[in-house]
C-alpha cells in the first residue's frame, strides 16, 4: 500500500480528481456548469456522494448504473485516492472525485446541474453545539437547493438513531416531500431496491458486523 505522500503525489496526476478550497472561491471553480461537457462528455444525470470517504459507494453505484455520472466529495486526499484509483483501474468513465469541504459545495455546481445526492454514514455530530455541521441541517439543505434539480432526491444512510430522527424532524419542519424511510434497511429493503444493501461502505460493514441497524431516508427539496 502506498504511503500518504505517495498517494498525494499520485492524486495530483489522476484525471478524474479535482480540488477546490476556500482560496479558490474568488476565481471560481472552472468546472461549475461544465461537468457534462468537459468531464463526462455526455448528458447523463449527475449524482453526488457527500463525504464519500474511500469512494466505495461512488464506485459501486457507478458500476451498477453506467447511464449515470457519479462524483464523490471528500476533504481527505488519502481517502479519495482509493476510490479514484479503483475507478481508473476499472476504466470507469462515469466517476470523478472532488477534494473540498461540503461547506463550499455550492461553488462547485451550477443551478440544476445535479440530479441526486447521497449522504452515506456522515459524522452525526451528536453534540447540540455542532448541530449546524450536520449534513441534513437546514443550512446545508439550502446549499443543495442551489444546484439540485427540482424533485431531485437526497438519500441518507446512517447507523445513528439520533441523526436519523433529526433528519426526519428537519424534513417535517420544512414540509419537504418524504419519499420513504426505514429504521432497519436490511430488514425492510424493497425487493426492487436491493442496490441499497448490496453496496456497502467501509463504515457500513463495521456497523453491520456489530449488529447495528442501518437507517435510510429518501426525500426531496421541492
Active-site annotation, residues: 123
Cα–Cα distances in Å, from 88 out to 39, 41, 42, 81, 83? 14, 17, 18, 10, 9
Task: Report the interhelical angle of 77-89 vs 4-11 (nearest 10°).
Answer: 60
Residue 28 has a CB neighbour count (10 Å cut-off) of 12
Distance CA 48, CA 152 (A): 11
What the block records as the C-alpha cell of 107 is 461553488
Q: Check if the beta carbon of residue 61 is closer than 8 Å to that of residue 68.
A: yes
What the block records as the C-alpha cell of 74 is 471528500
Amino acid at each position: 500500500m502506498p504511503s500518504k505522500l505517495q498517494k498525494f503525489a499520485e492524486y495530483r496526476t489522476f484525471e478524474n480528481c479535482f480540488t477546490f478550497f476556500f482560496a479558490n472561491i474568488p476565481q471560481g471553480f472552472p468546472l461549475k456548469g461544465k461537468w457534462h461537457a468537459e468531464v463526462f462528455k455526455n448528458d447523463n444525470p449527475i449524482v453526488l456522494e457527500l463525504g464519500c470517504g474511500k469512494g466505495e459507494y461512488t464506485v459501486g453505484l457507478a458500476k451498477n448504473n453506467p447511464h449515470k455520472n457519479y462524483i464523490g466529495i471528500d476533504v481527505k486526499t488519502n481517502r479519495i485516492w482509493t476510490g479514484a484509483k479503483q475507478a481508473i483501474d476499472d476504466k470507469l468513465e462515469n466517476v470523478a472525485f472532488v477534494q473540498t469541504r461540503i461547506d463550499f459545495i455550492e461553488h462547485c455546481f451550477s443551478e440544476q446541474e445535479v440530479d441526486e445526492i447521497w449522504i452515506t454514514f456522515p459524522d452525526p455530530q451528536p453534540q447540540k453545539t455542532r448541530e449546524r455541521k450536520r449534513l441534513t441541517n437546514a443550512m446545508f439543505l439550502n446549499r443543495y437547493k442551489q444546484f439540485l434539480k427540482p424533485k431531485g432526491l437526497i438519500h441518507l444512510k446512517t447507523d445513528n438513531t439520533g441523526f436519523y430522527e433529526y433528519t426526519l424532524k428537519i424534513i417535517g419542519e420544512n414540509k419537504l416531500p418524504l419519499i420513504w424511510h426505514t429504521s432497519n434497511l436490511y430488514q425492510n429493503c424493497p425487493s426492487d431496491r436491493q442496490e441499497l444493501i448490496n453496496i456497502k461502505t467501509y463504515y457500513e460493514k463495521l456497523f453491520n458486523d456489530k449488529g447495528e441497524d442501518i437507517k435510510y431516508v429518501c426525500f426531496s427539496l421541492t
